[in-house]
Amino acid sequence: MTNSRLTVIGAGVIGLSCAWRAAAAGLRVTVLDPAPASGASWVAGGMLAPVTEAWPGEEALLKLGVDSVRRWPGFAEQVGAAAGRPAGLRTEGTVVVATGAGDRAELDTLAGYLARLGRDVERLSGRELRRLEPALGPDVRGGLSVPDDLAVDNRVLLAALRVAGERAGVTLVERAAQTVLDDGARVTGVRTDGGDMASDVVLICAGAHSGSLHPVLHGLVRPVKGEILRLAHRSGAFPPPSRTVRALVDGRPVYAVPRDGGGLVIGATQAETGFDTEVTVGGVRDLLRDAERVLPGIAEYALVESAAGLRPGSPDNLPLIGALGPEGLLVATGHHRNGMLLAPVTADAVLDLLHGRPIPEAVRAADPDRCVSGAHDDEEVTRARVDQR
């Protein structure tokens, strides 16, 4: 594939990571995005948290996330070295905490589930948790410490990936793009308002917008809205935690992800309301109320930003990473709540696919074929062609 032309649609964390890796490996890479490094990647909390995001029935996602979090230190080092600036990784770890009795019972269920999978997590009382993180308030009654769940400053990472890509030869074009399909719904190129572009391979990494880029992705990738708040420590206020704090407050999940310099990202709501990115009064109220129950000192912090992003949801919460159709089209999308976490393993897998090598074992479960088999029948392809017009 060396010297082949790769066109990447989407300059979020997945598109930028794949583009940088591919260009560093010798491909001629163009990335198309009308607003690079925006959307869900810009809004993200930045948790790299496969264990504390684990959910019974999602063992393949846990395995994929654990593979990727192990790649993170090397990935951050390589991005940092390539860009000549830090990639934003934080390695202080994560605590998960509970307030009421129902929340503690739910955490016990999570701890038991993880123990059955052989993943050790340390259970701690409220007092032990406060010894680790004095910012936790008296309503915190117990929880878990998960030191291997990490975090990244998403905006520092995006800036580093842009520079690393540019230095490796990636051309970033700030234009919207559409795939050009032939009669068999095969991608033959990419169309922008500046003209058509020929490509050897097109890679769709357009997050929640991926569904409009190929007929078989229609309905497979859907927007899942998340609202976040950014807070800044003010002089005299109680210092922020050093670890990521995930909490259950009367059954509602909330998290606080520290940033260097005293910042905190509080997240996140989850709602399926289409392509709506307005921040709601109710979302802000819930996040502040729940975060303050867990970290009372934030009442003295500055509220510096509220934002909403659209996670790219998939039918089973696993991403879609692999070939779509016969040849020349790859997808790396549908990362839902895990785009930051899964960037390293996704970029490595895409590079393997481009070189015709076997992909990492944990990525096999993310093969798009699991969702699209049958989608290439005649009726679907005909509908696809009509939709494209």
Binding site for ligand GLY (CB under 6 A): 45, 47, 226, 267-268, 311, 337
Smallest separation, CB 33 to ligand GLY (Å): 20
- With 0-12 / 13-18 / 19 or more C-beta atoms within 10 angstroms meaning exposed / middle / buried, residue 164 is buried
**250 phi-psi bin (left φ>0, alpha ψ -120 to 50, beta other):** left
Cβ distance to ligand GLY smaller for residue 15 or 312: 312
Smallest separation, CB 119 to ligand GLY (Å): 18
Q: Amino acid identity of 301? A: Y
Cβ distance to ligand GLY smaller for residue 1 or 284: 284
C-alpha 176/C-alpha 10 separation (Å) is: 9
Smallest separation, CB 267 to ligand GLY (Å): 5
Sequence-ordered strand ranges (E) for 193-328: 195-197, 201-204, 222-232, 244-249, 252-259, 263-267, 302-313, 320-323
Phi, psi of 203 (to 5 degrees): -120, 120
Cβ distance to ligand GLY smaller for residue 155 or 311: 311
Smallest separation, CB 55 to ligand GLY (Å): 12
Cβ distance to ligand GLY smaller for residue 165 or 223: 223
Cβ distance to ligand GLY smaller for residue 213 or 268: 268
In a 3-state reduction of DSSP, which class is residue 342? helix
Cβ distance to ligand GLY smaller for residue 53 or 164: 53
Smallest separation, CB 184 to ligand GLY (Å): 36
Angle separating helix axes 13-24 and 339-354, nearest 10 degrees: 30
- With 0-12 / 13-18 / 19 or more C-beta atoms within 10 angstroms meaning exposed / middle / buried, residue 307 is middle
Smallest separation, CB 339 to ligand GLY (Å): 8
